[in-house]
A and B are shown apart, each in its own frame.
Chain A
Amino acid sequence: MSFTFQKASPTAAVVRIGKALDFRNAAEFKAACQEHARQGVRYYVLDFSGTGILDSTGLGVIFSLYRQLTPAGGQVVFASVSRPVQVVVQLTRTYKVFRQFPTVEAALQAHAAPAAPAQIPQRPTGTA
């Protein structure tokens, strides 16, 4: 049930949460995130594929990381959210805080690419 870190870039890391993020490994998770933050990581993609439990302590350390990073422009986002975690996200309304992406790749692409300008729908020209 241990999580793993993978640097995607000097400022981005993917954390595969594994089976659980809860009171048993939350402190270890927090310490690892803080170490990566000291190394310059500002964008954390939390990969929840296959995660069966995210308890109040696990969610608490994620919020702690969020509060630490956001004043400096950092972000914490969720990817591949399993159904058990989605239930927790909905119940705690944390979808209001953490972006969710269907895949880790989509989350990393969002970080790498600047936001596209809004597209103004073009009126079709000519007639049928």
Chain B
Amino acid sequence: MPTHTFTDLDRAVDALHAVADGWNAECAMVEALGTDGLHVLRLTVHEWIANLVQHASFPEDAEIVLTTAVDGDVVRCAVEDTSSGFDFAAQIESQRSILDAPAPSERGRGLLMLVSCAEDLDFRPAADGVRQRLAFSMRDPAGGDLGALFRPADLELDPDLARSMGDGHISAAPASAPSPRHP
């Protein structure tokens, strides 16, 4: 069960991506999630660590521990950290509330992205009662449908785009795209 520890918050995201680059060489990870699924897993963990780096309070030395394990066609991921924790559910509701705001913020969708991509999401104090622990599973097709992260009006089809289909644009829904997962 590969485990990676990040102690420098300024470098944690870069360190995460160095770890994620290695996933492409792990046969079990590739077989479980596929390359698109690995991109989604990378993004999901990125969003969580970004949340910790930007918003978490670390009373003492910061430590983030990432663990991944392949279980058949599922990858189980856990991130433990030494922060003082927060009200996850309340923060999710707060992020949901901004989606319909007249001028939605460009920030504050990271947790929604994480929740949409991950399965069996669980956030609670770790076994030692001190650390915080986020755990989730991911499978291939690994993506959720994140369309709700932006206002429906923003996602209405651009009329010019509709008229110009076929002039060299990449098609709107390539066959190789990950399938949305219905909640």
A residues in contact (CB < 8 Å) with B: 20, 22-24, 26, 30, 52-53, 55-57, 59-61, 63-64, 66-67, 81, 83-84, 86-88, 90-97, 99-102, 106, 110, 115-116
Contacts and interface: CB of A to CB of B under 8 A. Distances in A.
A56 B161 contact: no
B156 A96 contact: yes
A96 B35 CA distance: 24
A106 B173 CA distance: 20
Contacts of B39: 83-84, 87
A56 B149 contact: yes
A91 B143 contact: yes
B156 A64 contact: no
Interface of B: 13, 17, 35-36, 39-40, 42-43, 46-47, 50, 53-54, 105-110, 112-113, 116-117, 143-147, 149-150, 154-158, 160-161, 163-164, 167-170, 172-174, 177-178, 180
A64 B155 contact: no
Contacts of B169: 99-101
Chain A interface, DSSP helix/strand/loop, else mixed? helix
B13 A63 contact: no
A60 B43 CA distance: 15
B18 to A, nearest CB: 11
A91 B173 contact: no
Contacts of B174: 86, 90
Given A84-B39, A90-B178, A102 B168 contact: yes
A106 B168 contact: yes
6 contacts: A52-B17, A57-B50, A93-B147, A96-B155, A96-B156, A101-B170
Nearest to B114: A56
Contacts of A20: 17
B50 A86 contact: no
B105 A22 contact: no
B173 A90 contact: yes
A102 B149 CA distance: 26
A61 B106 CA distance: 5
Contact of B17 (A53, A83, A86): A53
Contacts of A100: 169-170
A84 B158 CA distance: 23
Contact of B36 (A30, A56, A83): A83
Contact of A87 (B110, B112, B167, B178): B178
